[in-house]
Amino acid sequence: MLPTMTVTSPTAPPAEVHSAPVAVRRGRGVTLLGWVGLAGFAGIFALVRGHRSEAFDIALTLKLQRRNHPMLARLMRAASWPGFPPQSRVLPFAIAACFAAARLRLEAAFAVLAYGTAGVATVTKVLMRRPRPVAGTDLRVVTAPLGGTSFPSGHTITYMGVYGFLAYLLHTLIRPVAIRRIAVGSLVGLLAIVGPSRVHQGHHWFTDVTASYLLGLSYLIGLTSVYRRIKARRAGVRP
């Protein structure tokens, strides 16, 4: 009699099964941080609305723009490039398509939801209507396909949603430690650079960028919280 063998079906989604407890475990304990980010955004919104941040914004922009080494300028342009159209409208859906192709349907759906930060930016811009920086004797504005108003920074908040959530997913899905650190570290580095790049290029004020980081962080934490709950329900793990 031949020994029986257990064969795993090639259609089974192993990443979906094995990553659920990891996604839940690695995402706990950040809800309070989301509320802090929201409160910080509200505080900056009030300062800008009351025109109490202008002198600080101008001084900080001029100080940052004094650092104008060619290598630094190229780095700032590269960091901002994914946030300009048409690539800004293509890359989020390309990321979702990659997850869908890997049979990670939930991750693909949430990658699309992460792009919702673009909508948040549009609504907030309409409410604030803050003018963008204008080139002058000292202030430099790099030519770019800009649209809308200044507050908040659409680049920064959209990056926080799209690439922040991508970093979270890769942190939970990639098993080899070295590859995971490189992938996540690269995305975190992009998030860290995009804000300063918007000020250095003269497209936004410092408070625009800071508010975007805070509001984007709150959105990201809320999104990952919902994602973890769904993963927990599917895997029978407490969120």
Reported as a single tens digit per residue, the pLDDT across 156-193 is 999 999 999 999 999 999 999 999 999 999 999 999 99
Residue 7 covered by a domain: no
Residue 31 placed within a domain: yes
Q: Which domain holds residue 27?
A: 18-133+147-235
Evaluate whether residue 75 is within a structural domain: yes
Token duo for residue 198: 């918007």
Distance (Å, rounded) from C-alpha 216 to C-alpha 37?
8
Q: Is residue 11 part of a domain?
A: no
Residue 103: name the closest of 1, 208, 14, 6 by CA: 14
CB neighbours of residue 154 within 10 Å: 27
Question: Global pTM?
Answer: 0.86
Q: Is 13 a member of any domain? A: no
| Beta-carbon count within 10 A of 53 CB | 22
Per-residue pLDDT tens, the chain, 239 aa: give them: 434 433 333 444 444 334 555 555 555 557 788 999 999 999 999 999 999 999 999 999 999 999 888 999 999 999 999 999 999 999 999 999 999 999 999 999 999 999 999 999 999 999 999 999 998 878 999 989 898 899 999 999 999 999 999 999 999 999 999 999 999 999 999 999 999 999 999 999 999 999 999 999 999 999 999 999 998 888 776 65
Residues 196 and 206: beta-carbon distance below 8 Å: no
Share above pLDDT 90 across residues of the chain, in percent, rounded to a whole number: 76
Query: Does some domain include residue 6?
Result: no
Number of domains observed in the structure of the chain: 1
Q: What CATH number did the domain enclosing 161 receive?
A: 1.20.144
Residues 6+ apart with CB under 8 A from 69: none
Q: Contacts by 78-86 with C-beta closer than 8 Å and gap 24+?
A: 79/190, 79/193, 79/194, 79/197, 80/144, 80/155, 80/194, 80/197, 80/198, 80/201, 80/203, 82/159, 82/190, 83/154, 83/155, 83/158, 83/159, 83/194, 84/144, 84/145, 85/145
- Give a yes or no: residue 2 inside a domain: no
The per-residue pLDDT for 224 is 94
The answer to whether residue 69 sits within a structural domain is yes
